[in-house]
Amino acid sequence: MKTQTLVSLTALLSLVGCASQQKPAPEPTPPPAQEATATPPAEAPPKAPSEVPAIPLRQPKPMELVVLARPDTPIVTFRLVFHSGSIDDPKGKEGLTALTATLMAEGGTQKLTSAQLLDALFPMAAELDTSVDKEFTTFSGRVHRDFLPRYLDILADVLLAPRMDAAELERLRTNAISTVENGLRSANDEGLGKAALDALIYEGHPYAHFIGGTVQGLKSITLDDVKAHAQRVFTQDRLVVGLAGAVDDALKQSLLSRLGTLPATGAPRVTLPTVTATSGRAVIIQKQTLSTAVSMGYVNPVRRGDPDFFPLAFALTHLGEHRQSIGLLFNELREKRGLNYGDYAYAEHFIEAPGTTYNRTNIARTQQDLTVWIRPVDPSHAMFATRGALYFLDQLVKEPIAQERFDLMRGFLQGYSRLWEQTDPRRLGYAIDSLFYGTPDYLEQYRQALTKMTPQSVQDVLRRRLHPSALNFAFVTQDAEALANSLRSGQPSPMTYASDKSQALLDVDKSIIGLPLPVRADAVTITPAQSFMEK
């Protein structure tokens, strides 16, 4: 998109006095003095809300059944979604929900060791996985209908009769700690930055800690903790049962009958607090790394079901759909300026589904976050790249998207959104999410909303709902002190290029170089990577 010039919306109102013609006179009567006209300032966008309340998600009935039967496939898809997640971790035992779910899915059953469990699934080419987020835990699987009786026995035993073996707990605990120490802290700057941003914007909130837990929290978990936790949070009243594909009445009845032996109820649900939406903070995670990773965002009061969500989501896709080269940031920061690899923006929390470029399903959240990711960036360009992202984010509030670009993005999303639901597991996941958000046929609703949007209607929403001044920042870099000094001083970040650039690009750079970042000098902190997520 060509960078647009800010158009003033101020109307000039002039009162011009007119003198009537008069006969010549020795002293001609002067015309009335013109009234001075003041140009009213452009209306400022509304400020970001100071608090984001926790409006509860909808609660389906216990073991509500969602079925997407499809007779043209021999594959059966299962999604057993519990409204239980890392928010249910007791303080001091962060990671308990994830470790419990993993032990159930991978640690064997009372009939099968973990190795025997894998041996049983392999010849059936069957899948059995688990994933945990802040509020939801999903046990998912797929199997050919020819192996359905055997698979149902295994799936039921995973949930109802897990092995809960001490040696398996130690193995999986070691893996979980390694994910923190050797994965996030050492090898995954992107994941580390996202976890740091979560901790920053949700400070003091049950969302704040990493889903996989903290090192000391994981070390404190006992086998008795795991057994008790499974009984507290994996209960009938928290469960939605999803089936897709080769589904018949016998399968539905058999599965519901087996799951009916789960505990009916367990621990009281966690009451999420209002988030105090502080802004202007920055945390710098210091570690040995050749590049800088940048994550920025704020707690977003707009979630699915809000009439403003679709226009907001459309605008953030225009800014940077995940791993898609069509995004504005991708083209401006990567393609034109060669600053880094990935530049993406999200209107709701994003976790990439394995093997895809799409967001995972069944990670519904009571309180959402709006984020922008930039990584990896040469440290010498980190400030300029951060300012660049802010500049183009700010342009969304100030200017409507150009019609040609708007039509391009609308066409892209009309087609691309169909890829989000191209498999039974994804369609089933969306159907289950719709129960909690109250958004039946969510993706079709989105496509219908796209047909009615205009550049002006989207900008009207952005002026109310998009707040660049509310951003908080998380950086992962080696020279943390130098970056902190740059953030605190607000000094310009001049940019030089190894090749010639157009004058139009260089003119935009002039606006970016000295753009004030919404970072308070007293709110910049440095945290060594070795201590982050320790306890």
Phi/psi for 12 (5° steps) reads: -95, 120
The predicted pLDDT at position 31 comes to 39
Q: Tens digit of pLDDT for each residue in 382-432?
A: 999 999 999 999 999 999 999 999 999 999 999 999 999 999 999 999 999
200 lies in a domain?
Answer: yes
Domain count for the chain: 2
Bridge partners (DSSP) listed for residue 524:
282
Q: Is residue 128 part of a domain?
A: yes
Question: Which percentage of the chain shows pLDDT scores above 90?
Answer: 90
Phi/psi-derived region of residue 334, left when phi > 0, alpha when psi is between -120 and 50, beta in every other case? alpha
Q: Tell me, what's the pLDDT at 47?
A: 86
Quick check: helix, strand or coil at residue 507?
helix
Reply yes or no on whether the pLDDT at 479 is more than 70. yes
Distance CA 293, CA 192 (A): 9
Specify the 3-state DSSP secondary structure of 168. helix
Residue 34 has pLDDT above 70, yes or no: no
For residue 376, whether the previous peptide bond is cis, meaning omega lies within 30 degrees of 0, is yes
- Tell which wins on pLDDT, 322 or 29: 322
Domain boundary among 209, 224, 259: 259
**30: in domain:** no
Same domain flag for 370 and 293: yes
Q: How many residues does the chain have?
A: 535
Instruction: Name the band, by pLDDT with cuts 50, 70 and 90, for residue 278.
Output: confident
Average pLDDT, the chain: 92
Of 259, 294, 313, which residue is a domain's last? 259
pLDDT of residue 48: 87
pLDDT > 90? residue 120 = yes
- Rounded to whole angstroms, the Cα distance separating 429 from 361 reads 5
Start-end of H helices in 208-360: 215-220, 223-233, 249-259, 309-320, 328-329
Instruction: Tell me the chain's radius of gyration from C-alpha atoms.
Output: 27
Are 224 and 304 within one domain? no
Q: What are phi and psi of 140, to 5 degrees?
A: -125, 155
One-letter amino acid at 347 equals A
Asked if 360 and 423 count as a contact pair (C-beta separation under 8 A), the reply is no
The domain in which residue 78 lies consists of: 64-259
Q: Quickly tell me which residue has 């936790």 as its tokens.
A: 229
Residue 178 lies in a domain: yes
Q: How far apart are CA 337 and CA 319, in angstroms?
A: 16
Is the residue at 413 inside a domain?
yes
pLDDT of residue 12: 29
- Are residue 440 and residue 388 in the same domain, yes or no? yes
Q: What pLDDT was estimated at residue 64?
A: 98
Give a yes or no: residue 48 inside a domain.
no
Assess whether 176 and 282 both reside in one domain: no
For residue 177, the domain's CATH number is 3.30.830.10
Instruction: Give dist(CA 265, CA 256) in Å, integer.
Output: 16
Do 328 and 473 share a domain, yes or no? yes
- What's the pLDDT band for 483 if we cut at 50, 70, 90? very high
Question: What mean pLDDT comes out for the span 351-373?
Answer: 97
Amino acid 45: pLDDT: 77
Q: Helix (H, G, I), strand (E, B), or coil: what is residue 480?
A: helix
Q: What is the pLDDT, as a whole number, of residue 42? A: 56
pLDDT tens-digit readout, 35-89: 333 444 557 778 888 899 999 999 999 999 999 999 999 999 999 999 999 999 9
CA-to-CA separations, 251 to 80, 160, 247, 258, in angstroms, rounded: 14, 18, 6, 11
Q: Read off the pLDDT band of 6 (50, 70, 90).
A: very low
Decide if 412 is inside a domain: yes
Same domain, 349 and 464: yes
**Phi, psi (rounded to 5 degrees) for 59:** -115, 110
Question: Residue 44's pLDDT is what?
Answer: 74
> Does a structural domain hold residue 2?
no
Q: 3-class DSSP state for residue 77? A: strand
> Span 360-382, mean pLDDT?
97
Please say if the pLDDT value at position 359 is more than 50.
Answer: yes
**407 and 483 belong to one structural domain:** yes
Q: What is the mean pLDDT of residues 218-232?
A: 98
Residue found by looking up tokens 């009372």 in the block: 110
Q: 231 and 321: one domain?
A: no
Which among 443, 67, 9 has a CA at the least distance from the CA of 241? 67
Supply 477's token pair. Answer: 């870099």
**Which pLDDT does position 29 carry in this prediction?**
38
pTM of the model: 0.90
Question: Is pLDDT of 115 > 70?
Answer: yes
Question: Do 126 and 69 share a structural domain?
Answer: yes
Q: 16-28 pLDDT, tens per residue?
A: 333 333 333 333 3
Q: Which residue has the tokens 């169909």?
A: 418
Q: How many CB atoms lie within 10 A of CB 18?
A: 6
- Last residue within a domain, chosen from 224, 259, 294: 259
254 and 303 part of one domain: no
Residue 511 Cα distances to 492, 494, 514, 516, angstroms: 10, 11, 7, 10
The tokens describing 162, both together, are 């897990």
Q: Are 281 and 250 members of one domain?
A: no
Is there a single domain that holds both residue 182 and residue 281? no
